[in-house]
Structure 1
Amino acid sequence: MMINYFQRVNISAAIVPMTQSTAGAPFYNWDTSDKSLILSSFFWGYVVSQVPAGRRFRVPESSTANSFSVGLLAKRFGAKLVLGVATAIGGILCFFHPLAAHSGWESVCVLRVFTGIVQGTVYPCVHTLLAKWVPRTERGFLTTGIYSGAQFGTAVILVTSGFIFESSMGWPGLFYLSGGLSVAWALLFFWQGANEPATAPKISKIEQEYIESLTGSNSASQSMPVPWMSIFRSPAFYGLLAAHCGFTWGFYTLLTEMPTYMSKVLQLNVKSNAFLSSLPYFAMGVLCLVVSPISDLLINRGTISITTARKLFNSIGQWGPMACLIGLGYMTADEKTWAILLLTLAVGINAGCSCGYLINHIDLSPNFAGPMMGVTNGIAGVTSIVAPLVVGAILNNEEDPSQWRVVFFITGGVYLVCNTLFVIFGKATVQSWNEAPSMSSTMTLRNNLENDSRTIAPTSDKDHRF
């Protein structure tokens, strides 16, 4: 997650020095509209690649089924292969960004579209892996721990960018380093990664059985057709979709525009801008690791149900930032400290969503968490395209705090509406369409356990052995 966010965030960090005259590095006279198109173009490809068109593929007649359908590449080729190849290709594309910038902003947009296409596989693949690997009694902490790499990756790339920009490499060095690390990681992942416990070469039988018994996912899901009609008829799915869209709008609005806001409104230099822009994401990464064990503890002790926990923490993660953005709308360059504090809180408190909508796909359907993530991430990705374009349309003068106030108020309104829908329609119980019809009795038993909301974590080695 860290490495893949290097690929996503490097353009947000580099866009400021790319359009300013600095010693030893080329710069380009791109206006606000051009920069908005560059920042949003990543998501054009990102949306397209989320859910490859479902079609039917023939399997040998000796198989147990005549055909099967796939909603995602990960279901057909395995999440390990798709994620590794996508990360490597994204890294290679990073190397060509400086050359593309020299050709014009349109060329940068083309590269960002291709980067978005390969990055679109990341969340569905990771969700597919998590559904196979993470026991439900540890779902909050382990899933959040992995996804916190997104925040730490964002923070690392932003905080180091200032030093890279001032080095002999200049801003092109940011893309070269991102690309090199991506390719290196992909090679390591091909060597050590595994799609599920059953195919991991070094896992013990006891650990494999323990994980498989507590994930709610099974190896047969690889050949099970995705129940799209049931998914799209589920109110819980639409509540989840709304929460995902709200988070994505707010997160990417701040991610893509924060360096510009700090430079133009708060009047911070490039190095200070880079460090302070990274601070909110460090805060979010740390808070992710704080709130997730609290969520698991409350659930495993039976204090609150899983559904209540998801709604509670998601509300903290979206309504809290909403309040911060309202206050931020009235900050000026004379109030740098308060503005930075509110920005840090607005992003940091988003950590609550890591125990909310982000793992709700796995709650609803361990077998089809990846395809569901592909759908919600794809639709939410549309908001990632729209958000920078809306900002570009509003900001005629990037130094005018009143125009930024409108941007922050719109973002706060999106948080308010989307999380309200999640609170009304959201659920965190395994849905009946998660299993094949022949497994309906097992499904009924699991739902009864989930609804009782008193799943107890193993407390001894004896418990682990079952």
Structure 2
Amino acid sequence: MENSDDVDFIGFDNQLISPKQGKYSVQVYSKWQTIISTRFIVAYMGFFGFFLVYSMRINISVALVDMVMKHSENASVNENCPVDEAVNKSENGSYGTFDWSSGQQSSVLGAFYYGYMITQIPAGLFVSKYGGKELFGIGILLTGLFTLLTPPAAYLGVGWLIALRVLEGITEAVTFPAYNQLMGQWVPKYERSFFSAFACSGGTLGNVITSPVVGYLCTLSLWDGWPLGFYANGALAVIWFIAWHFLIYENPSRHPRIEKEERLHIQANTTCDSKPIAIPWLRIFTSRAFYGILLCQVCCNFTNYGLMSCLPLYLSNVLNFDISSNGFLSSLPWLCCWISAQIFANITDWLRSKNVFSTTVVRKMNGFLGTAMPGLFLVLAGYAKCNAGLAVSSIVVAMFFFGANFSGYNCNNLDIAPAFAGVVFGITNTVATIPGFVAPAVVNWVTEENIHSEELWRQTFFVFATVGWFGGIAFILLASGEVQPWAILGNENNESSKQPLLQEAQSDCDSSDLDQLIQT
């Protein structure tokens, strides 16, 4: 490789473009130089950050089973389906630490989302002016500290625990807008699908691992078992924050250890102007592309939150399966979702980098796969009746295709508004938090007459499928993969402009000759 002082830019597909006798020559980076590059460190740290974000969010739902007294005489099963042997095993009396009613338990589980709705948009406004690095780290650190305080709060009383969960929602909500803004500074054009899917899928893996691990910790006698999961999550969050603080910087130009080649490559293919800019609120809320993302995200969250809350109920009350005895099975759908997110992300970036399809077409293809296919397999699960293998397999396949959304609506805000990615995501994710309350309520409303009814659960899966299909149709009709005129830096007040920087809001400080070369 030539001396780094002679290097101008690294082109797409890891190609090194350097000046040589007035012309451009091309050299190729080896794989190891890519996966250990500075921008990949940002992705790795984001991955583990979101792993902790989701782990700290759902640990209470697993631990609550062991925290609260259970009375075996109230149990019942679906008499139409075979009963798992573990379900028949019961003990007289009760176990657990706290005698909380079902209403109090519901309040504990839902308290997080009340706080989660509060700081989404303010966080987007903050990071659009000051950057996302510090806010992302502090959000996870504070959530970790609150997680450490969860056992003491529970012993003080259910009201204290509910208040603490609200605070956790407030501090954790800032993470997604903050990281989206950070990606706008660090992620080149043709790597956006991978970076977004890889980092955010850390949350999916958090779902996969947390359930069986916390379930196992609850079986230990040390400190009654259930507090161990909170202590482990909180301690890991503090350790992660220390690493984040010293390893990550707001943008490539501030990073003291980044190689010149990589810094210039990132600056050539992202927005290089990080100065505070006015947010075009009216144009955002009148943008078709914005509503394509919003509607799809709300509908997909309805399906996702609904499955997260109702899958254990379905397996237990319809299939008579003791979910606590097999944590892996309960987390298998999200494991497949995490795997598929990586597959779809790599395919998406390859299709875009080779110009097989436009960004708009590729995003809509993912939107179709991530909504249409899950709906079909959820309907199939509803018709599985007592066939546990068919029901679980259908849900697993449904969540596999759901992983395509990580390369669909989930990163589409980076396409249409890279300079306002944090703001756009803050708005959409605030509204998309509403299904966190609505989906469980709908499940309860549909199955209230008889929670063991196969027919009523079939209707529930139809609702999930229908809502998902609506979101997919809206995304296909409204979404775009191009930078919107209102999102072009320096052109916020000019709706008629149709000349986005490098078609993807890339740097306005690059030479025109090199811009043309990169575009070709």
Provide the residue aligned with 2:260 in structure 1: 205
3-state DSSP class of the match of 1:219?
Answer: coil
After superposition, the Cα gap between the structure-2 partners of 1:100 and 1:30, relative to the gap in structure 1 and judged at 3 Å, is farther
Q: Distance in 2 between matches of 1:238 and 1:121?
A: 21
Q: Distance in 2 between matches of 1:282 and 1:389?
A: 26
Is 2:471 the partner of 1:401?
no
Provide the residue aligned with 1:195 in structure 2: 250
Which structure 2 residues correspond to residues 117-128 of structure 1 after superposition, within 5 A?
A: 117-128=170-181
Which structure 2 residues correspond to residues 10-89 of structure 1 after superposition, within 5 A?
A: 10-19=59-68, 21=70, 25-31=96-102, 33-52=103-122, 71-89=124-142
Q: Distance in 2 between matches of 1:19 and 1:339?
A: 29
TM-score (norm 1): 0.86
Which one has more relative contact order, counting CA pairs under 8 Å at least 6 apart?
1
Q: Which is worse superposed, 267-276 or 246-255? A: 267-276
After superposition, the Cα gap between the structure-2 partners of 1:247 and 1:366, relative to the gap in structure 1 and judged at 3 Å, is same
Asked if structure 1 preserves the Cα contact closer than 8 Å seen for 2:415 and 2:504, the reply is no
Provide the residue aligned with 2:390 in structure 1: 338
Provide the residue aligned with 1:457 in structure 2: none
Is 2:189 the partner of 1:136?
yes
Provide the residue aligned with 1:363 in structure 2: 415
Structure 1 residue 375: deviation in Å?
A: 0.4
Asked if structure 1 preserves the Cα contact closer than 8 Å seen for 2:318 and 2:452, the reply is yes
Is 2:452 the partner of 1:382?
no
After superposition, the Cα gap between the structure-2 partners of 1:27 and 1:399, relative to the gap in structure 1 and judged at 3 Å, is farther
Q: Distance in 2 between matches of 1:108 and 1:264?
A: 28
Is 2:232 the partner of 1:177?
yes
Q: Distance in 2 between matches of 1:285 and 1:405?
A: 26
Q: What are the ranges of 5 or more consecutive residues in structure 2 without an aligned counterpart?
A: 1-49, 71-90, 506-516
Provide the residue aligned with 1:353 in structure 2: 405
Provide the residue aligned with 1:66 in structure 2: none
Asked if structure 2 preserves the Cα contact closer than 8 Å seen for 1:315 and 1:419, the reply is yes
Asked if structure 1 preserves the Cα contact closer than 8 Å seen for 2:419 and 2:489, the reply is no
**C-alpha offsets along residues 301-327 of structure 1, whole Å, 9 cap, x if unaligned?**
222111111011111111111112212
Q: Distance in 1 between matches of 2:280 and 2:107?
A: 36
1:40 maps to a residue whose letter is G
The one of 372, 392, 415 equivalent to 2:468 is: 415
Structure 1 residue 51: deviation in Å?
A: 0.8
Structure 1 residue 34: deviation in Å?
A: 4.0
Structure 1 residue 10: deviation in Å?
A: 0.9
How large is the Cα RMSD of the aligned pairs? 2.6
3-state DSSP class of the match of 1:150?
Answer: helix
**C-alpha offsets along residues 183-224 of structure 1, whole Å, 9 cap, x if unaligned?**
111121111111111111211222111011112x2233x411
After superposition, the Cα gap between the structure-2 partners of 1:48 and 1:233, relative to the gap in structure 1 and judged at 3 Å, is same
Which structure 2 residues correspond to residues 314-333 of structure 1 after superposition, within 5 A?
A: 314-332=367-385
**C-alpha offsets along residues 373-412 of structure 1, whole Å, 9 cap, x if unaligned?**
0000011112222222323333434433333333322221
Structure 1 residue 167: deviation in Å?
A: 1.8
After superposition, the Cα gap between the structure-2 partners of 1:265 and 1:34, relative to the gap in structure 1 and judged at 3 Å, is farther
Asked if structure 1 preserves the Cα contact closer than 8 Å seen for 2:146 and 2:164, the reply is yes
Asked if structure 1 preserves the Cα contact closer than 8 Å seen for 2:117 and 2:433, the reply is yes
Asked if structure 2 preserves the Cα contact closer than 8 Å seen for 1:16 and 1:260, the reply is no
Is 2:194 the partner of 1:145?
no
Larger radius of gyration: 2
Which structure 2 residues correspond to residues 213-228 of structure 1 after superposition, within 5 A?
A: 213-215=268-270, 217-220=271-274, 222-228=275-281
1:96 maps to a residue whose letter is L
Structure 1 residue 227: deviation in Å?
A: 1.1
After superposition, the Cα gap between the structure-2 partners of 1:144 and 1:327, relative to the gap in structure 1 and judged at 3 Å, is same
3-state DSSP class of the match of 1:112?
Answer: helix
Provide the residue aligned with 2:23 in structure 1: none
**C-alpha offsets along residues 123-165 of structure 1, whole Å, 9 cap, x if unaligned?**
1011011111111111112221111111111111013223212
2:429 maps to a residue whose letter is N
Provide the residue aligned with 2:489 in structure 1: 436
After superposition, the Cα gap between the structure-2 partners of 1:84 and 1:300, relative to the gap in structure 1 and judged at 3 Å, is same
Q: Which is worse superposed, 160-169 or 133-142? A: 160-169
Asked if structure 2 preserves the Cα contact closer than 8 Å seen for 1:429 and 1:447, the reply is no
Q: Distance in 2 between matches of 1:71 and 1:260?
A: 35
Is 2:324 the partner of 1:259?
no
Structure 1 residue 105: deviation in Å?
A: 4.2
After superposition, the Cα gap between the structure-2 partners of 1:313 and 1:79, relative to the gap in structure 1 and judged at 3 Å, is same
Provide the residue aligned with 1:294 in structure 2: 347
Provide the residue aligned with 2:209 in structure 1: 156
Asked if structure 2 preserves the Cα contact closer than 8 Å seen for 1:241 and 1:380, the reply is yes
Asked if structure 1 preserves the Cα contact closer than 8 Å seen for 2:336 and 2:400, the reply is yes
After superposition, the Cα gap between the structure-2 partners of 1:104 and 1:321, relative to the gap in structure 1 and judged at 3 Å, is farther
Q: Distance in 2 between matches of 1:329 and 1:17?
A: 30
The one of 51, 56, 59 equivalent to 1:2 is: 51
After superposition, the Cα gap between the structure-2 partners of 1:329 and 1:90, relative to the gap in structure 1 and judged at 3 Å, is same
Q: What are the ranges of 5 or more consecutive residues in structure 1 without an aligned counterpart?
A: 53-69, 452-462
3-state DSSP class of the match of 1:324?
Answer: helix
Asked if structure 2 preserves the Cα contact closer than 8 Å seen for 1:259 and 1:274, the reply is no
Q: Distance in 2 between matches of 1:395 and 1:341?
A: 22
Question: What is the aligned residue count?
Answer: 432
3-state DSSP class of the match of 2:480?
Answer: coil
1:184 maps to a residue whose letter is I
After superposition, the Cα gap between the structure-2 partners of 1:317 and 1:232, relative to the gap in structure 1 and judged at 3 Å, is same
Structure 1 residue 78: deviation in Å?
A: 2.9
TM-score (norm 2): 0.77
Provide the residue aligned with 1:234 in structure 2: 287
Structure 1 residue 249: deviation in Å?
A: 1.1
2:261 maps to a residue whose letter is I
Identify, as 1 or 2, the structure richer in helix.
1
Q: Distance in 1 between matches of 2:55 and 2:188?
A: 29
2:358 maps to a residue whose letter is S
Asked if structure 2 preserves the Cα contact closer than 8 Å seen for 1:37 and 1:389, the reply is no
